[in-house]
Amino acid sequence: GCCRLLCKPSALAQHLVQSLGRSAALRGGHWLWPRWPWLQMLRQLLQPPEPEPVVARELLQLPDTGLVALDWLVGPRGAGGSGGSPSSVLLLIPNAAGKVTGGLRQLGLRALERGFIPVIFNRRGHNGCPLTTPRLQPFGDPADLREAVTYLCCRHPAASLLAVSEGSGSGLLLAYLGESGSSSRLAAAACISPIFRGREWFEAGMPWLYEWPLLLHLKRGLSRYSRSLAEVVDVDGLLGSRSLRELEEALFCRTKSRPTSWESYWERNEPLRDADEAAVPVLCLCSADDPVRGPPARSLPLELFRSSPYFFLLLTPRGGHCGFPQRRPGRCWGHEAVLEYFRAMAEFMRQEERRKGLPRPR
C-alpha cells in the first residue's frame, strides 16, 4: 500500500520487501477516521484487549536482590503454557512508564495463536512488580533486561528468542541491542512507534492526552514505595512532578547519594548511543503522523537506516502512536506486520543455512 521500507540494500532487505509486499496486513490497514491520530492513540492506550488474556507471573531475582516480573501469556482460557517446546519465545517490552496497554496484550494473543510463547517484561516497581531495593531502572539502562534474556535462554534453550517493544519502551530495547552487539542472544527484534532520541523527546514535551495518563500511572505505582524511595530521592518533589521530564530528573538526576546532571544522564541512556554495534535485524514500524514521537524530519534517524544493514524502517503515512488500526474492532495491522516480519526473518535464516550448509545453532 502506502508503506515504504527504508533500509540499506541487501539480500535480507530484498527478502523483506517481497515478504511484506505479499502480506495482506499491509494492504488492509484502513480505519473510519484515518486523519485523527489522537483518537487512534487514545484507543490504543485505553481500550482493553478482547478477550482478556490469562497471565502467569514469574518473579526473577537480580544480582542486587532486586526483582523484575515476567508475565507469561497463556491464552484467554488458559490454553497453552510456558513449559512447552516452542519454536520462538517472544519478549514483549511495554513503554517506559510500565503501562501494559491493551494493544501490547493483543499482540501477545496474536502471537500465541501463531505458535509463539509470549512473555511481558516488567521493570522494577512497574505493573505490580515488588520494589525490593530503592532503585528503579533508568530510561536506557539494559542491565535488568540482559538478566531476563539470559534467564529466558536458559529456560528455553532450544527456542529462538525474539523481542518487540512498544513506544518509549523501545529506548530500552535499542540500548540493549547496541550494548550487547553480537552477544544479544536475540534472533530478531521489532519496535512499534519507537522513541529514538530520548533527551529531545523529554525536552520537547509530550501531548497532555498522552503524558498525563502515564504520569498518573507512574505516580500511583511509586507512591506504594515512598518510604523506601525516601532514602535516595526527594519523594515530595517526585510525586509533585508536573511532567514526565520532571519525574525522570527527580528519580535519576536529583538523587541524595549520587546526583548527576541531565546531560550526563543522557550520555549513559540515549537509546542509539551504541547503535553502530547492533548486530541483530531490527524492524522499526513508524507513522508519519505520530503525535507523540514528533515530526519525522526531526525525530527519525534516517541516516541510520540508510547506512546500517541491521535497521529497517517501515514508514506509513497514517497510524498514530502504536495505533495502526483495522476496521475489525481490537485488531491492529501493525501487529500483523511485525509477526509477518518475524516469519520472514526465520524463513530467510533457514534459506541461508541451507545455502551455506551450516548446522542450526543449538
Q: pLDDT tens for residues 287-319?
A: 999 999 999 999 999 999 999 999 999 999 888
- Give the confidence band of 22 by pLDDT, cuts at 50, 70, 90: confident
Is 126 an active-site residue?
no
- Give the confidence band of 156 by pLDDT, cuts at 50, 70, 90: very high
- Give the confidence band of 79 by pLDDT, cuts at 50, 70, 90: very low
Q: Does pLDDT of 362 surpass 60?
A: no
Q: Classify residue 82 by its DSSP letter.
A: S
Give yes or no for a contact between 277 and 304, defined as CB atoms under 8 angstroms apart: no
HSE toward the beta carbon, residue 346, CA cutoff 13 A: 13
Q: State the Cα–Cα distance between residues 17 and 4, nearest whole angstrom.
A: 9
Q: What are the two backbone dihedrals, phi and then psi, of residue 38, each rounded to the nearest 5 degrees? A: -65, -40
Is 289 an active-site residue?
no
pLDDT at 341: 96
Residue partners of 312: CB distance under 8 A and separation at least 6: 5, 6, 7, 13, 16, 281, 282, 283, 284, 305
From the candidates 71, 289, 290, 335, which is the catalytic residue? 290
pLDDT at 39: 62
Q: Which of 195, 187, 201, 129 is nearest to 158 (CA)?
A: 187
Residues linked to residue 6 through DSSP beta bridges, in sequence order: 313
Give yes or no for a contact between 96 and 169, defined as CB atoms under 8 angstroms apart: yes
Cell of 201: 523527546
How many other C-beta atoms lie within 10 A of the C-beta of residue 330? 16
HSE toward the beta carbon, residue 79, CA cutoff 13 A: 11
DSSP string over 190-221: EEES----HHHHHHH---HHHHHHHHHHHHHH
Domains and CATH numbers, the chain: 4-197+271-357 (3.40.50.1820), 202-269 (no CATH)
One-letter amino acid at 343 equals R
Q: State the Cα–Cα distance between residues 242 and 108, nearest whole angstrom.
A: 33
Kindly tell me the burial class for residue 115, based on how many C-beta atoms sit within 10 Å of its own C-beta (0-12, 13-18, 19 or more).
exposed
